[in-house]
A and B are shown apart, each in its own frame.
Chain A
Amino acid sequence: MSLVNAAVSSAVTIAEKRRGRLGQAIYAGRPQRVIERSFFALKSSTWLGVVSGFVEPVFYLLAFGLGVGQIIGNMTDGAGNPVSYTAYIAPALLATSAMNGAIYDSTWNVYFKMHFAKLYQTMLHTSLGSLDVAMGEIGWALLRGAIYAIGFMAVVTPMGVVTSWYGLLAIPAATLIAFGFASVGMAVTSYLKSLQQMNWVNFFLLPMFMFSGTFFPISLYPEPIQYVVMALPLWQGVEMIRGLMLGIIDGALFVHIAYFLLMTIAGLIFTTRRLTALFMR
């Protein structure tokens, strides 16, 4: 066995290649290796948890779109054109689907890895940096959100709810939503210290899901409340995807994109700092 001589350079030369680069103390350029580990973990995990997060929005679509929608009749979209109720809520549920996927991984799973599995300590014993770990874990949560979004699109498109070719852009948009939620989700989770506190996440998410223009337009609210809702990330996501799926492309779209880019970057910075503070003290 050649533990000392023959290939000793490999791990070391790989690490030394990054010498002198910006952020070399926190970033080794390998978040994809953290994602790879998640694929291994997924192989031996139960698929039920993965599937449940995906079917939930589909059930909502069936119950409200096909059920309640029959009673309601048509809605009007942002440009004043009539749309079926199913077509109105489908984009909102797609945004929710992306959010659910991202949040599930970046809250419960991250909490478990942080406090019970001690996975991040282990990773940080290698030549990975805290930004690699943050990006890898957020990247995984983002992938999950994106996969939920693709699955959701596959289910709803045959129902005729996508009325524009821009609708295809709903998938990258949903991925961006997942990125934002995953990134902030992991940052928030890093501050939570008990499972009770973890429930606060749900306490916040459920009303946001109900009232972010998901099932009815926010113009029904008094004006001050409208502004509160508009500040919430899910409303931003719902509006972004609704615009794309119904083919209403305007300046607001770029505001929504900027909102999620900002959310993503802020989440990444906070998560990296927290990982450093928690596990490299």
Chain B
Amino acid sequence: MTSDMIIAKDLKKVYGDFVAVDGINFTVKQGESFGLLGPNGAGKSTTMKMISSVSKRSSGELTILGKDPDKFGPEIRAHLGVVPQKDMLDRELKTWENLYTYGRFFGLSRKFLKPKVEELLAFAQLEEKRNDKVEELSGGMQRRLAIARGLVNEPEMLLLDEPTTGLDPQARHILWDRLFRLKEQGVTLVITTHYMDEAEQLCDRLIVMDKGKIMAEGSPAELIKKYSSKEVVEVRFGTDKNAQFADQLKKLADRIEVLPDRILVYTSHGEQTLEKISAQGMNPVTSLVRRSSLEDVFLRLTGRTLVD
């Protein structure tokens, strides 16, 4: 078997007149943690559905684990773990039953599943909740259950669509920790997200998508290096005044972005630049020096912020 888990060539998905995914190319290698970053409507979830082999591509080539999903749907899905955006847990069933019945759908035996479900309950830290119905679980617990469910068939590749959307910071960190463990065990992860911190935390490599196309590809560090400066100074002068300082700031920086509420000044030495700004008599209401993030990459590539 090839070490390429996914090969997409000129992959396209069209719904009626709407082009959701517009001829994208990418490869995901075994053991890699691969991200699809982009705003809502970028085509991430559609791409994910095609990888999950539950949505037929309109054109182009797609090979999952060396097979064509159009012909080998159920067979490919036996290798995959899917954690959909809306957890889609079985609300008529209890926690334990959710894991067990899902495993049964794969044709797995009782003998295999009994210990497997215990192992997954421990992994998801849900042992105490085994007899609770889904609605009695918190959002973070439900998401962990959805991930545990996706692991019941011991997949080589786990597909996670917006895994931490709607979770509080603590629940997010617990979840990231669980995903790290999977990665350490060699599970290939494919993650869609519109949170740049999540992409930076979890992904070895990612593609930045917008309007169905790939804007850039690389590791988080590579992308930041290529499309942004090392540091960013964020300054606010007040909503009406931001624009009037733009020309003056431009001379002090590699590049600036004027946003409605603030100006981003891209530079390699943030503190020095901030000193120069003050020295020139500009007095921002607030200022902040930070490292460049994928958010800046996205802004550079599309002229828009990720979360509008």
Q: Does B245 sit at the interface, judged by CB under 8 A?
A: no
With contact pairs A41-B92, A41-B93, A118-B88 given, residues A4 and B185 touching in the complex (Cβ less than 8 Å): yes
With contact pairs A11-B154, A18-B75 given, residues A117 and B104 touching in the complex (Cβ less than 8 Å): no
Q: Does A81 sit at the interface, judged by CB under 8 A?
A: no
With contact pairs A3-B182, A24-B72, A33-B105 given, residues A44 and B112 touching in the complex (Cβ less than 8 Å): no
B95 to chain A, nearest CB (A): 12
Q: List 18 A-B contacts (CB under 8 A).
A: A1-B185, A3-B154, A3-B182, A3-B186, A3-B187, A8-B154, A10-B154, A11-B155, A14-B108, A24-B72, A24-B74, A41-B92, A44-B92, A117-B91, A117-B92, A126-B106, A127-B78, A127-B106
Q: Does B153 sit at the interface, judged by CB under 8 A?
A: yes
Select which of A11, A19, A37, A117 is within 8 A of B108 by beta carbon.
A11
Among B39-75, those with CB < 8 Å from A are 52, 54-56, 70-75
Contact B74 A127 (CB under 8 A): yes
B31 nearest CB neighbor, chain A only: A4
Select which of B52, B56, B86, B151 is within 8 A of A3 by beta carbon.
B151
With contact pairs A4-B187, A44-B92 given, residues A14 and B107 touching in the complex (Cβ less than 8 Å): yes
Q: Does A28 sit at the interface, judged by CB under 8 A?
A: yes
B115 to chain A, nearest CB (A): 10
Chain A residues near B100: list those with CB within 8 A: 40
Chain B residues near A11: list those with CB within 8 A: 78-79, 106-108, 153-155
Q: Which 9 A-B pairs have the closest CB atoms?
A: A15-B78, A11-B153, A126-B105, A41-B92, A14-B107, A127-B78, A125-B82, A127-B74, A11-B106
Chain A residues near B73: list those with CB within 8 A: 25-26, 129, 280
Contact B154 A44 (CB under 8 A): no
Contact B112 A10 (CB under 8 A): yes
Among A135-169, those with CB < 8 Å from B are none
Flag A95-126 by CB within 8 Å of B: 1 or 0 each. Answer: 00000000000000000000001110111111
B14 to chain A, nearest CB (A): 11
Contact B74 A129 (CB under 8 A): yes
A12 nearest CB neighbor, chain B only: B78
Among A32-65, those with CB < 8 Å from B are 33-34, 36-37, 40-41, 44-45
Contact A7 B154 (CB under 8 A): yes
Interface size, chain B (Cβ < 8 Å): 48
Q: Does A178 sit at the interface, judged by CB under 8 A?
A: no
Chain A interface mostly helix, strand, loop or mixed? loop
Contact A4 B154 (CB under 8 A): yes
Q: Does B102 sit at the interface, judged by CB under 8 A?
A: yes
Contact B74 A28 (CB under 8 A): yes
Chain A residues near B104: list those with CB within 8 A: 33, 36-37
Contact B75 A124 (CB under 8 A): no
Flag A177-190 by CB within 8 Å of B: 1 or 0 each. Answer: 00000000000000
In the bound assembly, the distance between CA atoms of A59 and B272 in angstroms comes to 88
Select which of B105, B154, B185 is within 8 A of A30 by beta carbon.
B105
Chain B residues near A4: list those with CB within 8 A: 154, 156, 185-187
With contact pairs A8-B154, A18-B75 given, residues A127 and B92 touching in the complex (Cβ less than 8 Å): no
Contact A125 B74 (CB under 8 A): no
In the bound assembly, the distance between CA atoms of A1 and B187 in angstroms comes to 12
With contact pairs A33-B104, A44-B133 given, residues A19 and B75 touching in the complex (Cβ less than 8 Å): yes
Contact B75 A15 (CB under 8 A): yes
Q: Which positions in A face B, CB cutoff 8 Å? A: 1-4, 7-8, 10-12, 14-16, 18-19, 24-28, 30, 33-34, 36-37, 40-41, 44-45, 117-119, 121-129, 279-281
With contact pairs A1-B119, A1-B123, A280-B55 given, residues A14 and B151 touching in the complex (Cβ less than 8 Å): no
With contact pairs A11-B108, A24-B74, A127-B107 given, residues A122 and B185 touching in the complex (Cβ less than 8 Å): no
A276 nearest CB neighbor, chain B only: B56
In the bound assembly, the distance between CA atoms of A48 and B179 in angstroms comes to 43
Select which of A27, A28, A124 is within 8 A of B54 by beta carbon.
A124
In the bound assembly, the distance between CA atoms of A157 and B46 in angstroms comes to 57
Flag B95-131 by CB within 8 Å of A: 1 or 0 each. Answer: 0010011101111110010000001000100000000
Select which of A3, A19, A26 is within 8 A of B185 by beta carbon.
A3
B157 to chain A, nearest CB (A): 10
Select which of A25, A118, A125 is within 8 A of B86 by beta carbon.
A118
Chain B residues near A280: list those with CB within 8 A: 54-56, 73
Q: Does B204 sit at the interface, judged by CB under 8 A?
A: no
In the bound assembly, the distance between CA atoms of A15 and B15 in angstroms comes to 30
Chain A residues near B79: list those with CB within 8 A: 11-12
In the bound assembly, the distance between CA atoms of A24 and B185 in angstroms comes to 31
Q: Does B212 sit at the interface, judged by CB under 8 A?
A: no
Select which of A1, A27, A33, A40 is within 8 A of B107 by beta carbon.
A33
In the bound assembly, the distance between CA atoms of A18 and B70 in angstroms comes to 15
B51 to chain A, nearest CB (A): 11
